[in-house]
Structure 1
Amino acid sequence: MITIYGASDDLIEIDGDISEEFTLHNDAPEVGDLLAISDGTILRIAFTPHGIWRIMPLVRGPGLLTIEQAAEGEESNYSDRATLSGAVWVVQGIAQARCL
């Protein structure tokens, strides 16, 4: 099981069976970056002008995917959280993290 969420205003965190930190590469953070997961899932993660990380599924793989949405204006919880089961690797651009 892995959890994906945003931190600060430019970091994408992966925790759980895979542990990694990616830097948001897109020059327009509100557009976001794409994450590809080994089960075929593709997610867009973006940092909105309102200071909230949003995670949107573009393609759902066969693994269990849940997304908890962060409430607008809540200072202590400023990121959606996606959890996935069965991930072996995650790719963001050319950066890759693997489960050992």
Structure 2
Amino acid sequence: MSWISACRLDDIEQEGVIRFDHGGRTYAVYRSPEDEVFCTDGLCSHEAIHLADGLVMDYEIECPKHSGAFDYRTGTPRRPPACKSLNTYQAKIEAGEVLLAIPA
């Protein structure tokens, strides 16, 4: 597995999210309240809206269009109209860099 540098940890606010585009796909990269990092598909599974424009609270991302929500650690829908899980990807921090294991 190869790791791709997405950003610096400081680029993401605590309890925040940023958009990361790579290989023709969009991802959402999250920083938890405990300074852990997570990565999911970047588009809501309900209506393909960029999740990086949504609101992060604790371990949940709220879609900015219809207020559906997901647990960004697992991709599991938490509130309708979101009903299909997001794909999740491994993420880690090394020397202040956020690294992702995403498909080439």
Normalised by the length of structure 2, the TM-score is 0.37
Higher helix proportion: 2
Normalised by the length of structure 1, the TM-score is 0.38
